[in-house]
């Protein structure tokens, strides 16, 4: 039987890069951090807020996301959107993901 800590560590490593791609895909439509957390969770990507917000800032610094403040409501919210560069990266990573998915199926099937 797998040790829970061992399993958790490897699941975290496996999911780490997929969250970047998930964010780039979801944020093709502008959204703010808390709503993004909810969308990720509902899509099967459990991400902690303490992980997501630094990731969003890093992706923005890399030019993969843009952001704008919405001050129309009583509580200002920072909305993020995938930039053109981010969309290009998302397309490339999606194709890579599809290739890896096919390769894993080949390994699992033993062919």
Pairwise CA distance, residues 82 & 87, whole Å: 6
Structure confidence at residue 43 (pLDDT): 93
* Sign, Cα dihedral of 53, 57, 63, 69: positive
Structure confidence at residue 40 (pLDDT): 96
Number of structural domains (the chain) is 1
Residue span of the structural domain in which 84 resides? 4-110
The CATH number of the domain holding residue 16 is 1.10.10.10
Structure confidence at residue 111 (pLDDT): 61
Segments in the chain below pLDDT 70: 111
DSSP 1-42: ---HHHHHHHHHHHHHHHHHHHHHHHTTS-EEHHHHHHHHHH
């Amino acid at each position: 039987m797998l040790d829970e800590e061992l399993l958790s560590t490897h699941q975290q490593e496996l999911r780490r890069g997929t969250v970047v791609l998930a964010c780039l895909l979801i944020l093709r439509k502008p959204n703010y951090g808390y709503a993004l957390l909810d969308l990720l969770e509902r899509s099967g990507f459990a991400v902690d807020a303490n992980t997501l917000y630094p990731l969003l800032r890093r992706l923005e610094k890399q030019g993969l996301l843009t952001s704008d403040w919405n001050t129309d409501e009583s509580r200002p919210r920072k909305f993020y959107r995938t930039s053109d560069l981010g969309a290009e990266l998302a397309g490339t990573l999606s194709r890579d993901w599809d290739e890896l998915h096919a390769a894993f199926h080949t390994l699992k099937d033993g062919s």
